[in-house]
Structure 1
Amino acid sequence: MAKIIITCAVTGGAHTPSMSDALPITPGEIADQAIAAAEAGASILHLHARVPETGQPTGDPAVFAQFLPVIRQRTDAVVNLTTGGSATMKLDDRLAAAARFKPEMCSLNMGSINFSFHGAGRRIETWKHPWEKDYVLGSDDFIFRNTFRDIDRIMATMRESGTRFEHECYDVGHLYNLAHFVEEGAVRPPFFIQMIFGILGGIGPDLENLMFMKGTADRLFGRDAFQWSVLAAGRHQMPFLTQAALMGGHVRVGLEDSLFIERGRMAVSNAQQVEKIVRILREMGHEPATPAEAREMLALKGADRVEF
Structure 2
Amino acid sequence: MALLITGGTGYIGSHTVVELLSADQEVVIVDNLSNSSIKVLQRIEQITGKTPVFVESDICDRVAMDVLFSTYNIDSVIHFAGLKAVGESCQNPLSYYHNNVTGTLVLLESMAKHQVYNLVFSSSATVYGEHNASPLVESMPTSATNPYGQTKLMIEQILFDLAASDPNWSIINLRYFNPIGAHESGLIGENPNGIPNNLLPYVAQVAVGRLEKLQVFGDDYDTHDGTGIRDYIHVVDLAIGHVKALLALQQLKGCRAINLGTGNGTSVLEIVKGFESVSGKDIPYDIVPRRSGDIATVYANAQLAHQTLDWRAEKKLVEMLTDTWRWQSKNPNGFE
TM-score in terms of structure 2 length? 0.34
Larger radius of gyration: 2
Which is bigger in relative contact order (C-alpha 8 A, separation at least 6)? Answer: 1
